[in-house]
Amino acid sequence: MQQVGVAVIGFGWMGRAHTQAYDRVRHHYPDLAAPRLVAVADPVPGRAAQAAARFGFERATTDWRELLDDPAVAAVSVTAPNFEHRELGAAVAASGRHLWIEKPVGVTAADTRAVAAAARAAGVVAAVGFNYRNVPAVLAARELVAGGRIGTVTHASVRLLGDYAADAGGAFTWRYELERAGHGVIGDLGSHGVDLVRFLLGEVAEVVADGAVFIPRRRRPDGVTTGHARAETGRLVDVENEDWSAAVLRLASGARVTLEVSRVAVGHQNDYGFRVHGTEGAVEWDFRRMGELSVTRGDGVQDLPLATVFAGPDAGDLAAFQPAPAIAMGYDDLKVIEAAGFLGAIAGSGAVTATLDDAVAAATVLDAIAASAAERRWVGVDAAAVAAP
Ligand SMILES: NC(=O)c1ccc[n+]([C@@H]2O[C@H](COP(=O)([O-])OP(=O)(O)OC[C@H]3O[C@@H](n4cnc5c(N)ncnc54)[C@H](O)[C@@H]3O)[C@@H](O)[C@H]2O)c1
């Protein structure tokens, strides 16, 4: 059986998600070459070794550089924090390894461009973790919109509301630092939001935005953390990036979009979704009911009902997971779809689901949102920066 040697750099939540996706991918895409879990790296003592013992990596290290000396490694997942992406992404690509990297790729659009340039120069396959565009119902919504089934899109709202930082006792981790996270919730959740806007509705031309920090100080933990840990002890330090942001986006098509993102929305866990309104109908989606769309279409345009439509096996890659509509898929399945795109592209038989050009485009819009909030004015999105370089 043909195999692709893979390595994972950074074994927090996303490191595990990528690893499990590699592990499961052939259950759903049996024609792909099998990923071989060659190596895992994480600087936290014991973390990579534990991952190797649990998931079957052949070796573990605290130094990612060792992975790039290993000829058995052909492809690498970069699932370390944002501030490491530029160095890690560029080094992986320069070593000739294919790259699957998490969003947002780096801390600024300049970081994302640097990784994209390195991947292009090396001629490697590169995939980005914009998983929500892999949801079969989202692909069905995209087709509905592109096919003119709701008329001309006039306006839309996109929201990504979370409560992961709502607890003032949540530890001050890399996510709250300008240098290590860059943007706050705009980079973290807003990157997914901008990607969904582009995927469904096209390019963003101009933005105006506001942002706010509502929990200004958090405790810097004494030990290591993963995910969204609490800190009972440690020094209180200033949070450096936004907890909340709202933006109005003018699209190149003329449509208007509101994008609201929050990490402190009490009562809203992973409340992600969109509503797209057209001249003849509307379509909406909620991540927490991932397989459903609410669709309005009919005779006339007023007083129409909203119908629940379940994505079926003809939507996206649903058929690789379930035989019929309304059998739920899960978040981890989206990472399996992403892994399949990545491995298919490496084999020359498919395409990645999101490219580094998509990441550059999203990062350029995010930088414009941050600049608008800081400068309190409309900011144009540089179309040349968004276009594939
Ligand atoms: N696509 C998504 O839906 C999604 C969801 C969550 C996180 N993410 C992204 O994934 C990335 C990681 O997030 P997470 O939630 O897994 O974070 P995490 O804090 O849970 O894990 C990060 C891991 O990287 C390790 N690490 C730090 N520096 C390293 C280095 N130089 N080499 C190797 N490992 C290193 C840390 O020790 C930690 O184990 C971030 O960029 C984040 O934005 C994407």
Whole-number pLDDT of residue 334: 98
Would you say the CB of residue 184 lies under 6 angstroms from ligand 1? no
Question: pLDDT tens across 272-317, in order?
Answer: 999 999 999 999 999 999 999 999 999 999 999 999 999 999 999 9
Domains, the chain, ordered by start: 3-131 (3.40.50.720), 133-327+354-375 (3.30.360.10)
Å from CA of 213 to ligand 1 middle: 23
Q: Work out the number of other CB atoms within 10 angstroms of the CB of residue 17.
A: 22
Task: Note the pLDDT of residue 383.
Answer: 76
Per-residue confidence band for 221, with pLDDT thresholds at 50, 70 and 90: confident
Burial class, 46, CB count within 10 angstroms (exposed 0-12 / middle 13-18 / buried 19+)? exposed
Cα pseudo-dihedral 65, 66, 70, 76, rounded to 10: -50
Residue 113: predicted pLDDT: 97
Q: Mean pLDDT across the stretch 13-22?
A: 98
Return the C-alpha torsion angle 183, 189, 191, 196, nearest 10.
Answer: -160
Q: Among residues of the chain, what percentage have pLDDT more than 90?
A: 92
256 pLDDT more than 70: yes
**Per-residue pLDDT reduced to its tens digit, 86-140:** 999 999 999 999 999 999 999 999 999 999 999 999 999 999 999 999 999 999 9
> What confidence score (pLDDT) does residue 1 get?
62
* Segment 182-205, tens digit of pLDDT: 899 999 999 999 999 999 999 999
Encode pLDDT of 236-255 as tens digits: 999 999 999 999 999 999 99
Q: Whose CA is closest to 60, among 81, 46, 74?
A: 46
Of the candidates 58, 67, 61, 57, the one whose C-alpha atom is nearest the C-alpha of residue 46 is 61
| Cα separations in angstroms, 359 against 61, 133, 266, 341 | 29, 13, 29, 16
The residue behind tokens 């942002």 is 211
- Look at residue 389 in the predicted model and tell me its pLDDT: 47
- Confidence at residue 174, expressed as pLDDT on a 0 to 100 scale: 87
Atom of ligand 1 nearest to the CA of 225: 19
Mean pLDDT computed over every residue of the chain: 95
- Measured distance CA(247)–CA(89) in Å, rounded: 29
**40 alpha carbon – ligand 1 mean position (Å):** 13
**Taking the CA of residue 257 as centre, how many other CA atoms within 13 Å lie in the half-sphere pointing to its CB?**
32
Name the residue with the closest Cα to ligand 1, atom 7. 14
pLDDT for 227: 64
Say if ligand 1 is within 6 A of residue 82 CB.
Answer: yes
Alpha-carbon dihedral angle through residues 211, 278, 255, 148, given to the nearest 10 degrees: 130
215, HSE (Cβ side, Cα atoms, 13 Å) = 22
Please determine, for residue 225, whether its predicted confidence score (pLDDT) is greater than 70: no
CA of 137 to the centre of ligand 1 (A): 27
Distance 83 CA to ligand 1 centre (A): 10
Share of the chain above pLDDT 70, in %: 98
pLDDT at residue number 384: 75
Task: Kindly report, residue by residue over 350-379, the tens digit of the pLDDT.
Answer: 999 999 999 999 999 999 999 999 999 999
Q: Is 103 in the pocket of ligand 1 (CB under 6 A)?
A: yes
Ligand 1 pocket check: which of 13, 68, 100, 332 to mutate, most ligand atoms within 8 Å of Cβ? 13
- Is 70 exceeded by the pLDDT of residue 387? no
Residue 8 Cβ inside 6 Å of ligand 1? The answer reads no
